[in-house]
Structure 1
Amino acid sequence: MPRRSHSPPRQLPEAEPEEIYGPETQLEEQGFAWYNPDKWYPVEIGQVFESRYQVLLKLGFGSASTVWLCRDLNLHSYVTLKFYATGHRQASNEEKVLDYLWHVASDHPGRNLLRSIKASFEVAGPVGPHLCLVFETLGLSLADIREIAGGKVPENLLKGLIYALLLGLDYMHSEAHVVHTDIQDGNIMLAITDTSILDDLVEAEWALPSARKIVGDRIVYASTGLEIPDDPGDPIICDFGDARVGAGPFEGQVMPDLYRAPEIILGMTWNEKIDIWALGLMIWDLFEGKLLFNTRLRDRTASRAAHFARMVSLMGPPPDDLLERGSSWREFFDEKGKLMIDGEIPESSLEEEECNLEGSDKQDFLAFLRKMLQWRPEDRLSARELMEDPWLNRQYAED
């Protein structure tokens, strides 16, 4: 069969946009303090990059990039382009880590559960080059799923997601020797099993172009959202901008504040077990519909102390040998070993705060969580060990 030739770019829609916002509206990335228009590439719908990738619509944005659904005019397929802000530290690191992962020789089934890079290129911007990474297009994130589902992910769906994530983490930790450092629901996306949902999305964009705001010589677009598919694909671990490669141990501050493992807060060296801690917190957040640690104060030191006090209330005091390994324990304890925090430490427990299960189901779920939420990194089970957990593997009868 002869190969199809390069497709011509699609003509822009003639319909008027859904809405054009005025200068008083801060649209999408504009509403955040980290946004600097000089450092963000002004991608436009219809634009073609590398004589190959035509931009069709905006999928989203983050603190370092914007993400776009595009058409590969050579391969006649959808791809996602991620445009990094100029000079952002995550850009080169993500490209380096993804390139490393691509070249790891392995037949581990978890290899396919990490996002892989198709290509990369640079475009010139007003104050420097912008790195663009090319990916296969994925669907909703677990954060999206939770929001659409009303704040919680059902148990039967969650178990399948957890098992697949553990498979991906086992490959990442045991064979690729990569620590992600930012496991959270926004960085786990579902594979797309039926690309017709993307066809529908593009046709809807052409029938009624997305809302936007014109700012000088650039356009800021509203993102186009996906819906939960009838047949969701596997969860894929994404966003390797803060990942580390190697056996470790590593040093330095990583992880989002509310997901930080004890060893990060205490100024210890760390390894892949911080991903296991974060996975435990993410599972709680998805299943319970609330953050286990949610203290945010204006003063960062006070926030850290309150966060640490919450850990103590849920897990009991940290082992002395753990404190001795860290450099920051004096922020939280005096010379007599008393925790320094204003007011009383609120007494609580996972049993009191878990509200979806009862009886042995509740006990088994919390036992599973406690295999991840341990003070000492070495006391947390590995991803492979967690895959054998009874709660995770138990089959529930249909209602």
Structure 2
Amino acid sequence: MAAFGNGGYGYSSGSDGEDEEEGPEGYRKGGYHAARPGDRFAGGRFVAQRKLGWGNFSTVWLAYDTLLKRFVALKIQKSARDYAHAALHEIELLSAVAKGDPTNSKCVVQLLDHFKHSGPNGQHICLVTEFLGDSLLRLIRYNRNKGIGLSRVREICRSVLVGLDYLHRELGIIHTDLKPENVLLVSTINPSKDPVRSGFTPILERPVGNQYGGKVTSFSEKMLKIRARRAVAKISLRRVSLGGVGAEVEKERSLDGISMKCKIVDFGNACWADQRLAGEIQTREYRAPEVIIGSVYSYSADMWSFACMVFELATGDMLFAPKNCQGCNEDEDHLALMMETLGKMPKKIASSGTHSKVYFDRHGDLKRIRRLKFWPLERVLVERYNFTETDANGFADFLRPILDFTPENRPTAAECLKHAWLN
């Protein structure tokens, strides 16, 4: 899955960097629209500049709005009926978001326009949003998965909680897929990637022969370049790990001067609280326990995902990364990991879902994973991530109530904003 989830609005292409492509097989009837720099949309108003990324549902382009003279993100949905239906659902939600936030201060991406575009592969619904920066996933990886520091984490928390409070309390929307890929910084990490800060002159005509920087690049040439880059990277890493002659030490990366203001994006899976989606929601590692056991979910499921994401920002690692184990599946491993960190799930909750009997016995214990190794959150922060006792206790004090197994006990976004740790 790309950094866009279902095709969001970020800057980052592929899952993280330039080494993943959507592949030519997606460009057929019902699939992606093959846009090129200089292509015009909406009667000529929006001009494609360069591709920012892609998702399972769409590609996203940097575009120039010739009417308002500004850069925007243009999301071009695949044309098949299911994708068009998903795009209309997203437009409905984002229109409500924009209508309730005329000052653009609620930390949720702003929909600026939407229209249909006809191409060789069918009719594509297009969404135009404000241009934003890199995803929090890109930020985590940019900092080499080392954790970005608690003061930066607090800043990001404030933005995300303002966005969640707006979605939950004012609009009645559950995002259902909150994760680092779906929160974007307002500006790019690298100023040269920002069209305004880098002084990029907009392309207003299609380059002759569709040239990129003076030469035509085919898909196969691009893949060869990507493979060559990967091979060089592997050799460099081998040198580092061997520590032999010519060993290269990774350079420290500074986060100074990078704004941590951010916005929630990608509403492809979001729903109204009174029209919940059937079936499973949320990306695996950020999935709430009530979703795994097939119980009722609400806004508090987003809060669980938020806490998982915040832990990842602070440490560089996922809080829960379940896998299939001998004699158990990913769901069971996930529930076991939760209980090892947070304590035993209350029997009332364990037995409340449609899948409860699959995982739990009548005492509320896991059927197939009998021996849990308890390692509480504070101790994990101190012993694995070298937090001071003070930092670990303060941070865990903020996170633990949000990671309550009982969904209605979790604090709301508004309540979290008042927590001492944030202030």
TM-score under structure 1 length normalisation: 0.80
CA distance in structure 1 between the partners assigned to 2:199 and 2:282 by the alignment: 34
Bigger shift: residues 335-344 or 82-91: 335-344
Q: Does 1:314 align with 2:310?
A: no
Match of residue 92 from structure 1: 88
Gaps of 5+ in 1: 1-24, 394-399
Structure 1 pair 338–170 and aligned structure 2 pair: CA distance change class (3 A) = closer
278, 285, 290: which one aligns with 2:317: 290
Classify the secondary structure of the residue corresponding to 2:320.
Answer: coil
User: Given residue 116 of structure 2, which amino acid in structure 1 is its aligned partner?
Assistant: E
Classify the secondary structure of the residue corresponding to 1:129.
Answer: strand
CA distance in structure 2 between the partners assigned to 1:82 and 1:262 by the alignment: 33
Q: Does 1:46 align with 2:38?
A: yes
Q: What's the CA shift string for 1:122-173, capped at 9, x where partnerless? A: 2234554221100110111111111112212121111111112111211111
- Aligned 8 A contact 1:250 1:271 in 2: no
236, 239, 244: which one aligns with 2:266: 239
376, 388, 392: which one aligns with 1:362: 392
- Aligned 8 A contact 1:309 1:341 in 2: no
Bigger shift: residues 132-141 or 239-248: 239-248
Structure 1 pair 147–388 and aligned structure 2 pair: CA distance change class (3 A) = same
CA distance in structure 2 between the partners assigned to 1:71 and 1:348 by the alignment: 51
Match of residue 171 from structure 2: 176
Matches within 5 A, 1:65-104: 65-87=58-80, 88=83, 90-104=86-100
Match of residue 17 from structure 1: none
Q: What's the CA shift string for 1:96-145, capped at 9, x where partnerless? A: 111122233x68x8853111111111223455422110011011111111
Gaps of 5+ in 2: 1-17, 204-210, 227-253
CA distance in structure 1 between the partners assigned to 2:33 and 2:288 by the alignment: 35
CA distance in structure 2 between the partners assigned to 1:291 and 1:26 by the alignment: 22
Structure 1 pair 343–210 and aligned structure 2 pair: CA distance change class (3 A) = farther
CA distance in structure 2 between the partners assigned to 1:244 and 1:158 by the alignment: 27
Match of residue 55 from structure 1: 48
Q: What's the CA shift string for 1:192-250, capped at 9, x where partnerless? A: 399993142746999947995347xxx9x99xxxx979352621111011111245676
21, 31, 35: which one aligns with 1:28: 21
Classify the secondary structure of the residue corresponding to 1:29.
Answer: coil
Bigger shift: residues 163-172 or 227-236: 227-236
CA distance in structure 2 between the partners assigned to 1:110 and 1:315 by the alignment: 37
- Aligned 8 A contact 1:122 1:130 in 2: yes
112, 134, 144: which one aligns with 2:106: 112
Structure 1 pair 391–147 and aligned structure 2 pair: CA distance change class (3 A) = same
Q: What's the CA shift string for 1:278-329, capped at 9, x where partnerless? A: 0000000111110111123399971111111111211222112213431111
CA distance in structure 1 between the partners assigned to 2:69 and 2:88 by the alignment: 28
User: Given residue 194 of structure 2, which amino acid in structure 1 is its aligned partner?
Assistant: I
- Aligned 8 A contact 1:314 1:349 in 2: yes
CA distance in structure 2 between the partners assigned to 1:259 and 1:265 by the alignment: 11
- Aligned 8 A contact 1:111 1:172 in 2: no
User: Given residue 133 of structure 2, which amino acid in structure 1 is its aligned partner?
Assistant: G
Match of residue 181 from structure 2: 186
Match of residue 389 from structure 1: 419
Match of residue 259 from structure 1: 286
248, 257, 264: which one aligns with 1:230: 257
- Aligned 8 A contact 1:251 1:270 in 2: no
TM-score under structure 2 length normalisation: 0.76
108, 129, 137: which one aligns with 1:143: 137
CA distance in structure 1 between the partners assigned to 2:256 and 2:86 by the alignment: 31
CA distance in structure 2 between the partners assigned to 1:296 and 1:338 by the alignment: 19
CA distance in structure 2 between the partners assigned to 1:171 and 1:90 by the alignment: 22
